[in-house]
Amino acid sequence: MIRFLTAGESHGKALNVILEGFPSNFEIDIDKINLELARRQSGYGRGGRMKIEADKSQILSGVRFGKSLGTPISIIVENKDWNNWQEKMSATPTETKIEKISIPRPGHADFTGITKYNYDDIRNSIERSSARETTVRVAAGSIAKQFLSNFGIEIGSFVESIGGIFSETDYYSVIMKNVHELEKKYLEIRRKTENSKVRVLSKTHEKMIIEKIDLAKKTGDTLGGTCVIFAINLPVGLGSFVHYDRRLDTIISKNIMSINAVKAIEFGKGFSIANEFGSNVHDELILKNGKISRKTNFSGGMEGGISNGLPVIVRIAMKPIATLMKPLKTVDLVSRKVVDARKERSDTVAVPACSVIAESMLAWSVAELFVEKFGGDSIEEMKRNYENYTSNLSNRVWERFSK
């Protein structure tokens, strides 16, 4: 079993994460962690905080000479903005009078947080509920990606829409109808999204979205959107139907829905299958070079909560960010009057960043079940277990049913 635990506040001294359960002896490149952190911070429409922070990770334990030790891995990312917040976020009592926040923002954790935890200052809710926490989740996801790369598993994503603007090409449908499209086009998708300011696959689409973001920024508003996240080269057999909480789709849903502002998730054809005949949504089994394959991937790479060998395809929806520069109405908890909601430094849109964070959570989900199935104390032992399971898998199926 692998697990991780994060700690830290948005304007605290640092964010940190502890990861436990990975095998020893697989390579961990800190530059790859920092690359993922930079990907999270990029994207047209990000706010002023990204100009202050240039996130860099420090590995404090669990890695020696570039390889995992099999012991807990701890990573810290310092908040540069801490220099401006030392008194406001002091861990010890301060004589300086600090203004308490009493005006909650609609759509944020401001009001629910102070109610649940009995705070008398909304700042206490803001700090931990902030999406800044996802910085170290991306660091954890990078470790998971580097681990999975030992087995040829790759994780990717692209932004499908922002502000209701979709591409003329329905790429999501294309990759479901063409079973091996993702394996063939993975590097091309990666290149296009990394060269796009909003992580889309078309320059025309990018231009239209940027115009919409500029309009939202001009009017003091925010935008949400949809992203597609995928994992390729998975073996058959990750997850289980024997317990509800061991299903592959359950694990993925839990981890991705934990991302700030993500409000919906679907696998494969998802919600649209409710409107279809069964004959239009199930993936027919075919024989290809003596092996079982599929005509389509409408199920999103899993059946019965278990990976079926096809790419896992997930689509998610992110709501617009709650902090508006032209704020909605709310209630001041001190004066008890209706007022404009409070402004907090924020982004106009963070959908491109969300797609990167979702990659990390998908990578973690796959790694979690991978370690469970092919467990070993070292990467060498785990590779032996994996190769023993996957070698001639189709032939073993034929043999069992020919007896």
Average pLDDT over residues 61-70: 98
Confidence of residue 395 (pLDDT cuts 50, 70, 90): confident
> Looking at the domain assignment, is residue 300 inside a domain?
yes
How many other CB atoms sit within 10 Å of the CB of residue 77?
Answer: 22
pLDDT of residue 164: 97
pTM: 0.95
What range does the domain containing 214 cover?
3-394
The residue behind tokens 């070292």 is: 378
Q: E strand or H helix at 125, and its extent?
A: helix 123-129
Parallel, antiparallel, or unpaired for β 165-166 and 225-232? unpaired
Question: To the nearest whole percent, how much of the chain has pLDDT over 90?
Answer: 87
> Looking at the domain assignment, is residue 314 inside a domain?
yes
**Euclidean distance between CA atoms 336 and 351, whole angstroms:** 35
How many other CB atoms sit within 10 Å of the CB of residue 182?
Answer: 25
pLDDT at 170 over 90: yes
Segments of 114-258 assigned E as strands: 154-162, 165-166, 225-232, 236-239
pLDDT at 401 over 90: no
pLDDT of residue 54: 83
pLDDT of residue 204: 97
| Token pair listed for 374 | 């092919």
Q: What is the tally of structural domains in the chain? A: 1
Contact (CB, 8 A) for 11 and 88:
yes
- Amino acid, res. 259: I
Please list, residue by residue across 297-319, b when 16 or more beta carbons sit within 10 angstroms of its beta carbon and e when fewer do: bbbbbbbebbbbbbbbbbbbbbe
pLDDT of residue 346: 80
Segments of 83-166 assigned E as strands: 154-162, 165-166
pLDDT of residue 277: 95
pLDDT at 394 over 60: yes
Confidence of residue 53 (pLDDT cuts 50, 70, 90): low
> Looking at the domain assignment, is residue 403 inside a domain?
no
Contact (CB, 8 A) for 236 and 307:
yes
**Euclidean distance between CA atoms 196 and 158, whole angstroms:** 10
> Looking at the domain assignment, is residue 401 inside a domain?
no
Least confident of 31-35, 265-269, 315-319, 398-402: 398-402
> Looking at the domain assignment, is residue 402 inside a domain?
no
**Euclidean distance between CA atoms 228 and 351, whole angstroms:** 11
Q: What is the mean pLDDT of the chain?
A: 94
**Euclidean distance between CA atoms 352 and 221, whole angstroms:** 17
Segments of 223-328 assigned E as strands: 225-232, 236-239, 262-267, 285-288, 291-294, 302-303, 306-308, 312-318
Which is nearest to 117 in space by CA: 11, 255, 126, 16? 126
> Looking at the domain assignment, is residue 341 inside a domain?
yes
> Looking at the domain assignment, is residue 349 inside a domain?
yes
The residue behind tokens 């909560």 is: 305
**Euclidean distance between CA atoms 151 and 81, whole angstroms:** 39
Average pLDDT over residues 119-141: 96
Average pLDDT over residues 98-117: 95
How many other CB atoms sit within 10 Å of the CB of residue 152?
Answer: 11
> Domain with 355 in it: what CATH number?
3.60.150.10
pLDDT of residue 48: 60
